Amino acid sequence: MSRIGKKPVPIPAGVTASMEAGTLSVKGPKGELKMPMSDLISYEMQDDGLSVKPANGSKAARAFWGMQRTLVQNLVTGVTEGFTKVLEITGVGYRANSQGKMLKLQLGYSHDVDFAIPEGIEIKTPDNTTVEISGIDKQKVGQVAAEIRRWRKPEPYKGKGIKYRGEYIFRKEGKKK
């Protein structure tokens, strides 16, 4: 029994959800998101929101139940508030700045790294060592953040690299003399 799946997803004012041809579509003030509906799950519009239940008693349907409810919740949250990930850059000479549809990263390589910003994602650099990634699709925001972080992951000796805000880097001691 899924505790998350039992609760219906509340649909706030100004947001409309519709189901047609195996696709769940959610429209809100920030835009529109679509998700393919699983055959193992039944979706129902109710007065208190969108209810997600397993279509049958199979093990796969029960396994998908909580995840599908969370995916629907992410659609609703995305079109109302949006999602943001913040990356922090640590290291001497490491910096970032956004120029139009490109993010220019200087990460200690012999060349600058030019990262093309995908459609539907907005990147801001409030200062040289902070990158704010925002958008309405949670999966896309997280994927872009992971791709930027992959260029220079934090290393355990000096802590240099690109890390998520709030991420703790376990530091190693280094050589003993």
Q: Residues 10-38: pLDDT tens digits?
A: 999 999 999 998 999 999 999 999 999 99
* Domain at 134, CATH number: 3.90.930.12
**Residue 75: which of 108, 30, 142 has the closest Cα?**
30
> Do 69 and 129 sit in the same domain of this protein?
no
DSSP 112: P
Q: What is the phi-psi region of residue 154: left when phi exceeds 0, alpha when psi lies from -120 to 50, beta otherwise?
A: beta
> Do 114 and 138 sit in the same domain of this protein?
yes
> Do 61 and 108 sit in the same domain of this protein?
no
> Do 92 and 65 sit in the same domain of this protein?
no
* 104 membership: H or E segment, kind and range: strand 102-106
d(CA 93, CA 106): 7
d(CA 136, CA 83): 6
- Where the chain has pLDDT below 50, the residues are none
How confident is the model at residue 48, as a pLDDT? 84
How confident is the model at residue 57, as a pLDDT? 87
Is 77 a domain residue? yes
Query: What single-letter amino acid sits at 75?
Result: L
Q: Locate 168 and state its tokens.
A: 């703790």
> Do 53 and 91 sit in the same domain of this protein?
no
Is 176 a domain residue? no
- Domain extent, residue 22, equals 16-81
pTM across the whole model: 0.89
State the sign of the Cα–Cα–Cα–Cα dihedral 103, 104, 106, 109: positive
How confident is the model at residue 85, as a pLDDT? 97
* Strand, helix or coil for residue 171: coil
> Do 155 and 92 sit in the same domain of this protein?
yes
d(CA 127, CA 153): 20
Is 10 a domain residue? no
Residues 6+ apart with CB under 8 A from 10: 48, 49, 76
> Do 77 and 133 sit in the same domain of this protein?
no
> Do 87 and 76 sit in the same domain of this protein?
no
> What is the distance, to the nearest Å, from the Cα of residue 93 to the centroid of all Cα atoms in its chain?
28
Report the domain count for the chain. 2
> Do 69 and 30 sit in the same domain of this protein?
yes
Is 172 a domain residue? no
